[in-house]
Chain A
Amino acid sequence: MSVESCVLQGAEAGGFILIQDTVKCTGRGLLKCFINAALKRGEDVHVLGFESPETEVCAGLDRSCVQKLHFHKGFPDPLGWTRRSSFTVERFASQHITQLIKDTQQAKASVLVVDSLSLVLRHHDPLVFCQTLQELRKGGVIKTIIGLLHSDLHQQGIVGIVCYLASTVISVAPANNERHSVAKTTRRTKSGKVMQEEEYFSVCKDATLSVQAKPRQPGHVQKERDVSEADPTSNLTFNLRLSEEERKAKEKVALPFVFSQEKKSALLKPTPGSGRIVYEPDDNDDFDEEDPDDDLDV
């Protein structure tokens, strides 16, 4: 399941898509692609924006669908210090979020986007956070949850817990090429099958995803290796090279332990003129006409 199809089709109901990023490569561009694709599919998108301003998150999104986007202002006041936010981090609980979504008109199955889960984890107990996520997935009001997590800001155990909860995990990392990044997608279907894929991608200005060739494909190597092979037989005081006749003679030599057809017939068939063995069985001998070596595959 490539990251492109993930973005375009979204997840199945009750899915949780996790985008993991680090300081080396930000995942917010990919998050924007998900939002844009969901809007184009006609779904209601609710964004809990704690870390970035609305202008940044909404920049480049398709203008025609923007009315389906509901940005709940956490930023610039995610903790309620200046009383200017409509949704603080503290209220990240299933009953508050469900109420928030039901309050908007035409609340059909919506997509919930959280930017970012790192801020929520900083202010909530991990256990309670996981319970909240599970309740939201099963609540029925939300079709898909998409979250951004800065994996280098938390302990490995906590990142592991959140990944385990997710049905799709996309990790972004920088590629050798500055223009692209690498996305590693791990998707778990309901049947338990796990699919993994790794691709180059870049985010265009209109918040669409552009996927390039997968890494490790021949002919798409981005970094040119400067390898010049030195010829070991040059510049020597003795001759290590072969002339044409020498090469032909060398190829003709039969190697000692290679069992070729000529060797086999030479060994098995007796040459004429050499000693013959005449065997006359005694009465007591148990003479068997069959060749005991018949079953050997020689």
Chain B
Amino acid sequence: MFPELNSILNSTPDSFKSSDFILVSDRRADASFLIHHHLSFYLRAGCKVCFLGLVQSFSHYSAVGQRLGVSLAQAREKGQLVFLEGLKNSIGVILQEDTSQETQPLSYLRTPGAGLEGLFRFVERSVRQSGDGDAGESWGPPVLLIDDLSVLLSLGVSVGAILDFTLYCQATVCSELQGNMVILVRCEEEDADDDEEGSNLLRRGLVHQCNLALHVEGLPTGYCRDIHGQMEVWWRQGEETIYNQRKIFHFKVHDKGASFFARGTSSAVL
């Protein structure tokens, strides 16, 4: 996890806001480093994490997690982490070899028009499981992480079905179980007539639902070696902050973390 991001968002593994829906989005940039941050953050906080990894393998997240100081394999063994390996299991669904219960969450691969109820049931089962780790450890509030949701659009699932799915996840994880949710959405370039079904429509629908939106883009002035991009933090409705507040930070991703700074204060400039 990134300490500078923690201070920007005013949260630490020991004290963070619950019932939070955090939306991570990017446009022509890669915001997956924020997913790695939140994964290590919530594992350190001792929460029960349900991770839908739809675009990368478990070993990828494990390798990055190692650099950030958490062991995903250990967490999975202990029962703290439930990992849905989308890529590996999807072959089984498509070839219809494996008909066990594990394939139900990926039923959208065969029938994308039917919606994501199966995936929701998998999430619900995972977050409701009581902690039965070693010596009866009970984990903290549940956390749902999704990387990434926009890939479902390219598989034929409609924007409405995805928004229904996230509404149900928010109802169960955030409202009922007081847990948190972090979802990554990758957007395309904004078009003039953006009424069509697409990633931008999905992002707008998710921004309506979320409490905090982190949007990552490249610098508007072009490529820079020392600054990898800008991240906009948008605090939306919460109990204390009724008014929208938006701030932009620059960031640089390192081997073992990322540093964030206010605009114009990069070490290359000062």
Contacts and interface: CB of A to CB of B under 8 A. Distances in A.
Contacts of A25: 244
Interface residues of B, number: 25
Contacts, number: 55
Q: Which applies to chain A's interface (DSSP): helix, strand, loop or mixed? A: loop
Q: Which applies to chain B's interface (DSSP): helix, strand, loop or mixed? A: helix
A77 interface: yes
Nearest to A21: B208
A81 interface: yes
Contacts of B209: 51
B245 interface: yes
Interface stretch (A35-43, A150-158, A239-247): A150-158
A178 B243 contact: yes
Contact of B117 (A23, A24, A26, A81): A81
B242 A23 contact: no
Residue in B120, B205, B207, B208 with the greatest tally of chain A CB atoms within 10 Å: B208
Contacts of A78: 164, 167
Given A23-B207, A122-B160, A203 B168 contact: no
B22 to A, nearest CB: 15
B244 A174 contact: yes
Contacts of B160: 122-123
B195 A155 contact: yes
Contacts of B164: 78-79, 122
A76 B175 contact: yes
A29 interface: yes
Interface of B: 117, 120, 124, 160, 163-164, 167-168, 171-172, 175-176, 195, 201, 204-205, 207-209, 236-237, 242-245
Nearest first, the 3 A-B pairs at minimum CB distance are A76-B171, A155-B195, A23-B207
Given A153-B208, A155-B195, 7 more contacts: A25-B244, A51-B167, A53-B175, A152-B204, A153-B201, A178-B244, A178-B245
Interface of A: 23-26, 28-29, 51, 53, 75-79, 81-82, 119, 122-123, 150, 152-156, 174, 178-179, 203
